[in-house]
Structure 1
Amino acid sequence: MEDLPIIQKTYDFIAWYAPILSRLPKTHKFTLGDRMLNRLYHILEGLITARYAKQKITILESLNTELDILRYQTRLLLDLHLIPIYRYEYAGKFINDIGTDLGGWLKQQKQR
């Protein structure tokens, strides 16, 4: 069985972002960094769970909120000068792509 594109994008995003978050200074690594990494894992787990769930809408709406929180946390990394602008832009593109796919999946489920 093939992965849904949103699951693969989220997996790829974690593979790219995890090393960056693990290199944050100690003052942020064990707070903001850990929260972000746990949120990413939670989003991936939620997407996989939603794939097999009969009632997907509640799960997907919750993940949409989680993704928005991640968006703000990423912006906070930039504002605190913890990541350069090019990494912020790349992360933002990933988050937006995942968000677009998630929004499409939600819309499709609501039309059923």
Structure 2
Amino acid sequence: MEELPIIQKTYDLIKWYIPILTRLPKIHKFTLGDRMTNQLYDLLEGLLVARYRQEKLSVLEPLKSIIDILKYQTRILFEFNLIPIHRYEYAGKLINEIGVDLGGWIKQQSNYQKSVKN
């Protein structure tokens, strides 16, 4: 079974980001690093749950805030000089792509819900 692109992108982001987060200095590793790690896994988990739910919107909508939080946390990493600009740009690109995919999935589900009600 082929994976949904948004799930694959999120999986790839986790594989890329977790090793970076585990190498953060101790002062950031157990605060920002752990929070980001949890957000990444929560995002993947939410996407997987939504995939199999009949009513997907209630699961997908809260994931938008996780993506926004990850954007700001990534920015903090960069502004604290914990990641170089090329990693900041790459992470931002991946997070934005996931956000666009999520927005599209939410829109598709909203349209579907409207059509079912009519």
Task: Give the alignment's TM-score, normalised by structure 2.
Answer: 0.93
Unaligned runs of 5+ in 2: 113-118
AA partner of residue 107 (structure 1): K
Structure 1: which 5+ runs fail to align?
Answer: none
Spell out the pairing of 1:1-112 with structure 2 (5 A cutoff): 1-112=1-112
**Distance in 1, Cα, partners of 2:24 & 2:50:** 31
TM superposition shift of 1:58: 1.5
Which protein is bigger by CA-based radius of gyration?
A: 2
Task: State the shift of 1:22 in Å.
Answer: 0.4
Aligned residue identity for 1:29: K
Q: How many residues matched?
A: 112
How far apart, CA to CA, are the structure 1 residues paired with 2:33 and 2:79?
Answer: 14
TM-score by length of 1: 0.98
Moved beyond 4 Å, runs of 4+: none
Q: Give the counterpart letter for 2:45 in structure 1.
A: E
**RMSD after superposition:** 0.6
Q: Residues 5-33 of structure 1, C-alpha deviation per residue, up to 9 Å, x if partnerless?
A: 00000000000000000000000000000
Q: Percent identity?
A: 67
